[in-house]
């Protein structure tokens, strides 16, 4: 797989320009490290991912990339995070509609319309997805943005689990995403 390191993108650079299978992808690698801990002692990979996406977008200023753009996250913190953490970071908070009077759930689990999503149909369409690099030979995972202007070709990353982050189909995926752990 031919690649180039430190590829200039105008307002800065990305770590890799990769050519494979007739496509080109820009990748920027960020580490999730121990940082300020919340009152329960958890490391919040959610905030790291959101911040890293914002920093990646800032590298392009107003010039959207014409190629697929992927954030690569590596877990160097002291704790694991899950696919559910990634889903919340990319598509916002997850919830249900609950009728207080009837005490019934009126909708399936879904991403909340005002759930502070990083990727939406109108915002951040330049990021094609998040690639979680698992160290120690475990399977890598690529979370594909359903809103990307330049999606990554399926199978571009070899030996990688691909997950389409379609917000309308999240209900059936939550248990599996919660069981998917990314260890340091």
* pLDDT digit string, tens, across residues 56-100: 888 887 788 889 999 999 998 888 898 988 888 887 777 667 778
Percent of the chain with pLDDT over 90: 27
Report pLDDT digits (tens) over 95-146. 667 778 888 877 766 556 654 555 555 566 889 999 999 876 678 999 999 8
CA distance 121 to 180: 26
CA nearest to 156, candidates 18, 29, 14, 44:
18
CA nearest to 83, candidates 25, 130, 16, 27:
130
pLDDT of residue 41: 56
For residues 6, 8, 13, 18, the Cα torsion angle rounded to the nearest 10 degrees is -50
DSSP state of 169: G
pLDDT of residue 68: 94
Could you tell me the CA-to-CA distances from 145 to 36, 80, 90, 95, 107 in Å, in that order?
28, 22, 8, 20, 23
CA distance 16 to 140: 17
**Does pTM top 0.75 for this prediction?**
yes
DSSP state of 163: E
Question: H helices of 59-143, where?
Answer: 83-91
Could you tell me the CA-to-CA distances from 11 to 57, 59, 61, 81 in Å, in that order?
10, 5, 6, 31
pLDDT of residue 52: 92
Average of pLDDT values for 35-57? 76
CA distance 86 to 46: 7
pLDDT of residue 169: 65
């Amino acid at each position: 797989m031919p690649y180039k390191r430190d590829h200039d993108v105008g307002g800065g650079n990305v770590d890799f320009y990769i050519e494979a299978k007739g496509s080109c992808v820009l990748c920027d690698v960020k580490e999730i490290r121990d940082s300020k801990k919340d009152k329960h002692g958890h490391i919040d990979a959610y905030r790291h991912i959101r911040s890293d996406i914002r920093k990646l977008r800032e590298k392009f200023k107003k010039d959207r990339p014409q190629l697929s753009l992927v954030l690569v996250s590596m877990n160097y913190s002291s704790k694991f995070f899950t696919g559910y953490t990634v889903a919340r970071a990319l598509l916002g908070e997850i919830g249900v509609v609950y009728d207080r009077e009837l005490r019934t759930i009126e909708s399936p689990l879904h991403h909340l319309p005002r759930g502070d999503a990083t990727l939406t149909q109108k915002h951040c369409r330049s990021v094609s997805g998040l690639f979680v690099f698992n160290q120690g030979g475990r399977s890598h995972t690529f979370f594909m943005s359903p809103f990307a202007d330049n999606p990554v070709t399926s199978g571009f990353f070899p030996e990688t689990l691909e997950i389409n982050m379609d917000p309308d189909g999240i209900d059936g995926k939550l248990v599996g995403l919660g069981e998917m752990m990314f260890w340091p």
